[in-house]
Copies of this chain bind each other. A is one copy, B any other.
Amino acid sequence: MSKVNISRREFVKGLAVAGAMTATAGTLAGCQKESSAAVPKKWDEEADVVVVGSGFAALAAAIEAKEAGASVKVIEKMPVAGGNSIINGGVVSAAGSPIQAAEGIEDSPDLMLQDMLKAGLGLNHPDLARVVAEHSNETVQWTINYLGVEYKDKAVHLGGHSVPRSYSTHNSSGSAIVTKQLAKLEELGVKVGTNRKMTRLIQDEDGRVKGIEIEDDYRFPDEGSGTVKTIKAKKAVILATGGFGRDLYFRTIQDPRLGEEVDCTNQKGATGEALVQALGLGATPLQLSWIQLGPWASPDEEGFGMAPHFAAGACFPYGVMVDPETGKRFVNELADRKVRADAILKTGKPAIGIADAKAAGHALAGLADKLIEAGVVKKFDTLEALAAEFNIPFDALQETIENYNRYVEQGEDEEFGKYFRSDIAPLGESPWYSVRLWPKVHHCMGGVLINTKAQVVSLDKQPIKGLYAAGEVTGGVHGACRLGSAAVIDCLVFGRVAGQNAVKEEAWG
């Protein structure tokens, strides 16, 4: 009975494939690959380091790898480089920065870490979050001194941060960083290959990632529209492919509430195939069902849009949000994103954000008019007209406003404990403004497990040789809920970490 009918050689091979396993770990079922099947004899292209994606993390990785002397290829499946980073708001945390010092703000990586863990409800992997906090200032200074990124000169204070801690790019957009990253790469002689989609990670029988298969001249989203090619990665492949917010199938597996009727603030390419590829290779999944929704989004425009600025600038702090069926408020308009988004989803229909003339005056100048023109915000002479537009029972709505005004006057929200700013005023001055609000998928907190070197960790608890990842495709840095401006610094820090470590892999072939 002790006869092992799997030949010893094959058994050992199975063990080897599973990586440098600890003596007690079981052998993983998957991925015993025939080398000849997976690894082509001849490759179409090659580089020391192949970076997949072209957002903050990808470009940071490519720059570091190139600066360390490696040959680098960057591929991007969309027709333009920049991923979701290029449409990001461009606010980046840095703990202990010169602009903080100039204002006498005391801060430290420890305090930033503490803020991240608090927001993450303890689901963060503290070792990963610490890497981000500790390298945050150094990395932002690198974007200034090395890349030439320009920021406004005042530290921004975002919710959940103990102190003003964030740099905001001069144009309030992540594009200010991405364009400088792209320019630096060009200067270094690295071009981003757009319209090139990774279709497969190629791994040998020992589990080492040796390269990728791509579709060249790929036309998103048409699978098979490109030409199949292979790229040999002599040292490593770095996945910096972002989240899966636009992958309807995968996201509804993780959170079935997020069906077609829920839009996404991300660019269309945030479809997560690379994450699925990595999982198929035995990468450890974590916290995939923690998908952050933006409660400030409107179903009357696509993607992130402009409504969030009106909702968050006027309706939430100074106005109210009601359920049109009841005419009543149903959640603290300033609760955290998750609480508000869950509450709206639970009502099963878009909520109505309401501002009177004074409240609307707190939004950015000209914003309301732009949104009215776009059909996203509506303007009414009377509250009654607003109620009629959305079939809100008017008596109930009027009572809601009366109650709310009483809370404002007494300085205490008896129903939901909303925080009242010092410049808040009772509602009543026409015209009235409305915006329909329905959450949109915003950020995937979960992804593949990496270690502090940005190596992807397999289910066998070991790094997958030759495979790195950084940014939203990974999980653990942010836990249950990421702080605003923490994602950008996560991408930049771990992108650099991935690039710096990938070049240290021993080259093969």
* Chain A residues with a Cβ under 8 A of chain B: 1-6, 10-11, 13-14, 23-34, 36-38, 40-44, 121-126, 199-203, 213, 216, 223-224, 227-230, 249, 253-257, 273, 276-282, 284-290, 342, 345-346, 446, 449, 459-461, 476, 479
**Residues in chain B near residue A125, CB distance under 8 A:** 253, 256
User: Most chain-B Cβ atoms within 10 A of its Cβ — which of A256, A278, A342?
Assistant: A256
Q: Do residues B288 and A345 form an inter-chain contact, with CB atoms below 8 A?
A: no
Q: Do residues A446 and B122 form an inter-chain contact, with CB atoms below 8 A?
A: no
User: Most chain-B Cβ atoms within 10 A of its Cβ — which of A6, A36, A199?
Assistant: A6
Q: Do residues A32 and B24 form an inter-chain contact, with CB atoms below 8 A?
A: no
Q: Do residues B121 and A249 form an inter-chain contact, with CB atoms below 8 A?
A: no
CA distance A346 to B120 in the complex (A): 12
Q: Do residues B37 and A279 form an inter-chain contact, with CB atoms below 8 A?
A: no
Q: A216-B1, A249-B461, A256-B122 are in contact. Are A29 and B200 (CB under 8 A)?
A: yes
Q: Do residues B201 and A29 form an inter-chain contact, with CB atoms below 8 A?
A: yes
Q: Do residues B5 and A230 form an inter-chain contact, with CB atoms below 8 A?
A: yes
* A293: min CB distance to chain B, Å: 12
CA distance A29 to B199 in the complex (A): 8
**Residues in chain B near residue A285, CB distance under 8 A:** 279, 285, 288
- Please provide the 6 A-B residue pairs with the shortest distance between their CB atoms, ordered closest to farther: A34-B34, A30-B280, A28-B280, A29-B201, A5-B40, A24-B223
Q: A122-B345, A124-B256, A285-B288 are in contact. Are A37 and B24 (CB under 8 A)?
A: no
User: Most chain-B Cβ atoms within 10 A of its Cβ — which of A203, A279, A290?
Assistant: A279
**Residues in chain B near residue A126, CB distance under 8 A:** 256
Q: Do residues B227 and A286 form an inter-chain contact, with CB atoms below 8 A?
A: no
* A261: min CB distance to chain B, Å: 13
Which residue of B201, B227, B345 is within 8 Å of A1 (Cβ)? B227
**Residues in chain B near residue A255, CB distance under 8 A:** 123
User: Most chain-B Cβ atoms within 10 A of its Cβ — which of A14, A27, A273, A285?
Assistant: A285
**Residues in chain B near residue A276, CB distance under 8 A:** 26, 28, 459
**Residues in chain B near residue A41, CB distance under 8 A:** 5
Q: A28-B280, A29-B277, A459-B279 are in contact. Are A40 and B6 (CB under 8 A)?
A: yes
Q: Do residues B199 and A26 form an inter-chain contact, with CB atoms below 8 A?
A: yes
* A132: min CB distance to chain B, Å: 15
CA distance A14 to B39 in the complex (A): 11
* A259: min CB distance to chain B, Å: 11
CA distance A23 to B222 in the complex (A): 11
9 further contact pairs, Cβ within 8 A, besides A123-B257, A289-B290: A1-B44, A6-B230, A13-B37, A14-B38, A28-B200, A30-B282, A32-B37, A34-B34, A253-B284
Could you list 7 examples of A-B contacts with CB < 8 Å?
A26-B199, A27-B199, A30-B280, A31-B280, A279-B279, A287-B288, A288-B288
Q: Do residues B346 and A122 form an inter-chain contact, with CB atoms below 8 A?
A: yes
Closest to A216 in B: B1
CA distance A277 to B276 in the complex (A): 17
Q: Do residues A25 and B223 form an inter-chain contact, with CB atoms below 8 A?
A: yes
CA distance A459 to B14 in the complex (A): 22
Closest to A41 in B: B5
* A42: min CB distance to chain B, Å: 5
Q: Do residues A24 and B227 form an inter-chain contact, with CB atoms below 8 A?
A: no
Closest to A480 in B: B289
Which residue of B28, B123, B228 is within 8 Å of A277 (Cβ)? B28
**Residues in chain B near residue A26, CB distance under 8 A:** 199-200, 223, 273, 276-277
Q: Do residues B34 and A37 form an inter-chain contact, with CB atoms below 8 A?
A: yes
* A312: min CB distance to chain B, Å: 24
CA distance A365 to B270 in the complex (A): 59
Closest to A221 in B: B24
**Residues in chain B near residue A42, CB distance under 8 A:** 5
CA distance A358 to B287 in the complex (A): 44
Which residue of B1, B29, B287 is within 8 Å of A281 (Cβ)? B29
Closest to A230 in B: B5
Q: Do residues B227 and A2 form an inter-chain contact, with CB atoms below 8 A?
A: yes
User: Most chain-B Cβ atoms within 10 A of its Cβ — which of A200, A228, A249?
Assistant: A200
Q: Do residues A44 and B5 form an inter-chain contact, with CB atoms below 8 A?
A: yes
**Residues in chain B near residue A31, CB distance under 8 A:** 30-31, 33, 280
Which residue of B23, B29, B202 is within 8 Å of A278 (Cβ)? B29
Closest to A254 in B: B286
* A359: min CB distance to chain B, Å: 30
Q: Do residues B281 and A4 form an inter-chain contact, with CB atoms below 8 A?
A: no
